[in-house]
Amino acid sequence: MQKLIIVAAATNHIIGKDNRLLWRLSGDMQFFKAQTTGHAVIMGRKTFESMGRPLPHRLNIIITRDMSYAKENCLTAHSLDEAFRLAAEHGAEKAFVIGGGEIYRQAWHQADVLYLTRVAAALDGDTTVPSPDGDSYWTETGRTDYPADERNEYAYSIIRYQH
Ligand SMILES: NC(=O)c1ccc[n+]([C@@H]2O[C@H](COP(=O)([O-])OP(=O)(O)OC[C@H]3O[C@@H](n4cnc5c(N)ncnc54)[C@H](OP(=O)(O)O)[C@@H]3O)[C@@H](O)[C@H]2O)c1
């Protein structure tokens, strides 16, 4: 099973504020949906609560320390390792770590592939991810740039990194 991270971050590495996202990027949402549909998605409990419902057509795995936590149509794990194990046991070919900051940090040097949407703005927020640039674990293998338009608040680049 391939382990992947998918994240969108501002130029100053901010990914969220007050448990919500900071931009409306329709192109990035389409990319996220196309990549993750049919696969496992692994997320921290706070990210799940900010979405409020499981993502359709995906195996949703929530990581929490709360041993009694249970949500309809979701699996619960109590560590990142357990989440990957559950995804593999359920036959997932790909397991995407989809946030948030705490979970990205733990997965950063465990994944095989990183999809980073770099949002062309420095924004104020309270949650960050590390930078793959200058990190010998990650090698950039592809990049596509997109302009801002009426459906995308900022210009952005989707960058693929491989371990
Ligand atoms: N830009 C993006 O691509 C993107 C994507 C996703 C999320 N986000 C943003 O990220 C922010 C949320 O991130 P966050 O760092 O605050 O929270 P988070 O990573 O979503 O969730 C943190 C929670 O995960 C659980 N957890 C973490 N490590 C664990 C471990 N080793 N074992 C068991 N449970 C563990 C704990 O849940 P319990 O407290 O229940 O024990 C912890 O409180 C929001 O602003 C959201 O909008 C951005």
**Ligand 1: which residue has its CA nearest to atom 12?**
100
- Are the beta carbons of 94 and 1 closer than 8 angstroms? yes
Q: Cα torsion for 18, 24, 27, 28, to the nearest 10°?
A: -10
Q: To test ligand 1's pocket by mutation, which of 11, 48, 63 has the most ligand atoms within 8 angstroms of CB?
A: 63
pTM of the model: 0.98
Distance 150 CA to ligand 1 centre (A): 30
**Within a 13 Å sphere around the CA of 39, how many CA atoms are in the beta-carbon half?**
21
Which pLDDT band, with edges at 50, 70 and 90, does 58 fall under? Answer: very high
**Residue ranges per structural domain of the chain:** 2-162
Q: How far apart are CA 11 and CA 50, in angstroms?
A: 23
Instruction: Give the 3-state secondary structure of residue 138.
Output: coil
- 79-92 pLDDT per residue, tens: 999 999 999 999 99
CA-nearest residue, atom 39 of ligand 1 = 64
Sign of CA dihedral 161, 104, 24, 51: positive
Name the percent of the chain lying above pLDDT 70. Answer: 100
CA-to-CA distance for 84 and 129, rounded, in angstroms? 20
Which of 3.40.430.10, 3.90.550.10, 3.40.50.150, 3.30.465.10 would CATH assign to domain 2-162? 3.40.430.10
Find the length of the chain: 163
Q: Which tens digit of pLDDT belongs to each residue from 32-52?
A: 999 999 999 999 999 999 999
pLDDT at 150: 97
Residue nearest to atom 37 of ligand 1 (CA): 64
% the chain with pLDDT above 90 = 100
